[in-house]
Amino acid sequence: MSGAKLTVTTRRPARTDALVVFGTRGLPRAIAEEARRRLVDEAKLAVVPSLGKLRDAERVVVVRPPRRDDALDWRRTGGAVARALAGEPVRRAAVIAPERLPEGPLRAFVLGLGQGSYRFDRYRTKPGPKPVTLAVVCPGRESATAARAALPVARAIERTRDWINTPAEDLGPSEFEREARRVGRESGLAVRVLDHARCRKLGMGALTAVGRASDDPPRLVIVEHRGDRRTKTFTALAGKGICFDTGGLDLKSAAGMELMKKDMGGAATVLAAVAAAAELKLPLNVRGYLALAENAVAGNAIRPGDVLTALDGTTIEVLNTDAEGRLVLADAVALAVREGAARIIDAATLTGAALIALGRTRVPMMSTDRRLGAALQAAAEATGEKVWPMPTDEEYRRQIRSEVADIRNVGKGREAGVIAAGLFIAHFAGKLPWAHLDISPASWSDGAHDLGPRGATGVMVSTLVELLRRLA
First to last CA, the chain: 31
Q: In what order do the strands lie in the sheet with 307-309?
A: 307-309, 315-317, 407-408
What's at 320, amino acid-wise? N
Q: Contact at 8 Å (CB) between 430 and 342?
A: no
Burial 214-231 (b: 16+ CB within 10 A, else e): bebbbbbbbbbbebeeee
Pairing verdict, β 434-438 and 363-367: antiparallel
- How many angstroms separate the CA atoms of 341 and 10, rounded? 41
Question: Which one is catalytic: 59, 148, 326, 469?
Answer: 326
In whole angstroms, what is the distance from residue 274 CA to residue 184 CA?
Answer: 9
Alpha-carbon distance of 234 to 225, in angstroms, equals 9
Helical (H) or strand (E) element with 4 = none
Does the annotation count 201 as an active-site position?
no
Main-chain dihedrals φ then ψ at residue 309, nearest 5 degrees = -120, 120
252 is catalytic: yes
What are the φ and ψ backbone dihedral angles of 169, each rounded to 5 degrees? -55, -35
The active-site residue out of 36, 92, 181, 252 is 252
Whole-angstrom Cα distance, residue 331 to residue 206?
A: 6
Q: What is the DSSP letter of 449?
A: B
**Amino acid at the residue 430:** G
| CB within 8 Å of 31: residues ≥ 6 apart | 24, 48, 50, 51, 53, 54, 60, 62
Strands 133-137 and 5-9, how do they pair? parallel
Which residues face 237 on adjacent strands?
288, 345
Phi, psi of 303 (to 5 degrees): -120, 150
| β partners of residue 388 | 364
**How far is residue 77's CA from residue 97's CA, in Å, rounded to a whole number?**
12
What SS3 class is residue 46? Answer: strand
Q: Give the DSSP letter of residue 453.
A: S
Alpha helices in 103-172, H assignment, sequence order: 103-116, 141-148, 151-165
Which residues are annotated as catalytic? 252, 326
